[in-house]
Amino acid sequence: MTMSSLSSNPYKGTRDWYPEDKRVQNYIFKVWRETAESFGYEEYGAPLLEPIEVYAAKSGQELVNEQTYVFTDRGERTVAIRPEMTPTISRMVAARRQEMAYPARLYSIANFMRYERPQRGREREFWQLNLDLFGVESVLADAEIITYGAQMLKRFGAKNSMFVIKINNRKVIDVMMREYLGLDEVGAQLMVKLFDRKSKISTEEFRDQAIAIFGQEAAPAGLKKISELLLTKDIESMPSELANHGAFGELRQLFVELKKTKVTNAVFDITLMRGLDYYTGTVFEFFDTDPENNRSLFGGGRYDGLVGLFGAEPISAVGMAPGLTTTELFLKSHDLLPDMTSTTEAYVITLSEELRDQASKLANDLRAEGVRVELDITGRKLDKQLKTALKKKIPFLVFIGHDEVEKEVYTFKDTTSETEHHYSFARMVGAIKDRRRNGEDDLDTLFG
């Protein structure tokens, strides 16, 4: 048992969330949750593990074969730590297909794991909001989910100019690949993957791979058509044989609905594919417009076929999944993260060991009023107690000395304004609650 050299580092690709980091995480979770509930979404929870088959069906080869934490359990079952939530919530809806009330609006905030090359914004254990609407076939549901995404970013204080929403539709993609570009099923699948990687590869590489998919003979005409497509900025500027196709009906209606909910920064993007195999209609992705940080924030889409895989009647579904890390990077790069102090509101400092019981009583009395109070029970000198409170960023200090106990008037210090007062118990409670109310008002202003 000579274990003195155990590493104190977290496991590769995971993070330790100390209170100062957890506060930021909790702030993001809070805004996600409040926005979701304001639209009538109800929270659910789900198992950490699923049998691998749940993902093998529709999540795509790369995710299952290369990125999933998969292992054999003690009962010889092959299980995965969930790499995403969509198959799980589809399974859950299938299991209660008959009993549930439709439309079902559901959200969860949970952790996931994937093997990823560690890089900025990508960790192996990551947190996501999942927001899904089951049982509405019309694009009104797609519009609601996208509107949620825009509202959520606005609650964080984002302006329309800070993000853009790119939208496409799997039915349109299918028509484009099969009818317009003339590809067969395998060719179409390869071309979708190629479009998906377009921003990550060079123009030459894109061209070479496109030629390989078309074949030498069909390549010149195919490439010409792709160049034309890449130049289109909206549906109406598409080649007319495409723009007039019925598959564009949903897209057109979606943009009409988004205008009604004042989502004005949504654009049609024919190159947007979304990698996962289960999408069947609308797909969309939110992007940061900051040129230094021009990354995808999050995305989602319609996946009408997934619930049916679990032996239930199919049910239409549309959803999205914003991630914690990209949201945090977005908020930081646009300077939208508020200053955060400790959740603890007051630190009780005892000036003499004899007064320990009186200090403990005062702390309990404050707690009974709903105040969040830490009591120093170390018996250390004043300066050490003070240092602890300041290091923890606790906004108020209460000092208990003989004078204070006798007169029931307390030395009360506001560490943010650096002012000192001599307050009765009731005034202290009042000052602490005023600060809490002001904090909530600040948030309300953001949300207004």
CB of residue 429 to a second copy, shortest distance in Å: 13
Q: How far apart are CA 266 and CA 165, in angstroms?
A: 4
Q: Which is nearer to a second copy, 8 or 202 (CB)?
A: 8
Q: Which is nearer to a second copy, 136 or 351 (CB)?
A: 136
Q: Based on the shown chain and the rule CB under 8 A, indicate whether residue 161 belongs to the binding site for a second copy.
A: no
CB of residue 134 to a second copy, shortest distance in Å: 12
Q: Which is nearer to a second copy, 297 or 348 (CB)?
A: 348
Give the interface segment with a second copy, choosing from 86-94, 202-210, 217-225, 282-290 (CB under 8 A).
86-94
Sign of CA dihedral 52, 36, 322, 262: positive
CB of residue 423 to a second copy, shortest distance in Å: 20
Q: Do 287 and 294 meet the contact criterion of CB atoms below 8 Å apart? A: yes
Question: Distance between alpha carbon 46 and the CA centroid of its chain, in Å?
Answer: 17
Give the interface segment with a second copy, choosing from 9-17, 163-171, 239-247, 278-286 (CB under 8 A).
9-17
- Residues within window 90-109 making contact with a second copy, judged by CB under 8 A: 91-92, 94-96, 101-103, 105-106
Residues 6+ apart with CB under 8 A from 50: 79, 80, 82, 87, 88, 91
109: left (phi over 0), alpha (psi -120 to 50) or beta: beta
The beta-strand segments (E) located in 141-250 are: 163-169
Q: Which is nearer to a second copy, 409 or 447 (CB)?
A: 447
Give the interface segment with a second copy, choosing from 53-61, 160-168, 237-245, 289-297 (CB under 8 A).
53-61
Q: Based on the shown chain and the rule CB under 8 A, indicate whether residue 210 belongs to the binding site for a second copy.
A: no
- Residues within window 368-427 making contact with a second copy, judged by CB under 8 A: 368, 370-379, 387-388, 391-392, 394
Q: Based on the shown chain and the rule CB under 8 A, indicate whether residue 75 belongs to the binding site for a second copy.
A: yes
Q: Based on the shown chain and the rule CB under 8 A, indicate whether residue 289 belongs to the binding site for a second copy.
A: no
Q: Which of 364, 382, 383 shows the shortest CA–CA distance to 373?
A: 364
Q: Which amino acid is at 120?
A: R
The β-bridge relationship of strands 317-320 and 125-134 is antiparallel
The β-bridge relationship of strands 419-423 and 266-268 is unpaired
- Tokens at 424, concatenated: 């009765």
Reduce the DSSP state of residue 382 to 3 states and report it: helix
Instruction: Report CA Rg, the chain.
Output: 28
- Residues within window 307-346 making contact with a second copy, judged by CB under 8 A: 308-312, 342-344
Q: How far apart are CA 351 and CA 346, in angstroms?
A: 16
Q: Which is nearer to a second copy, 77 or 224 (CB)?
A: 77
Q: Which is nearer to a second copy, 376 or 404 (CB)?
A: 376
Q: Which of 31, 63, 85, 141 binds a second copy (CB under 8 A)?
A: 141
- Residues within window 108-127 making contact with a second copy, judged by CB under 8 A: 111, 113, 115, 125
CB of residue 138 to a second copy, shortest distance in Å: 7
Q: Which amino acid is at 193?
A: K
CB of residue 7 to a second copy, shortest distance in Å: 7
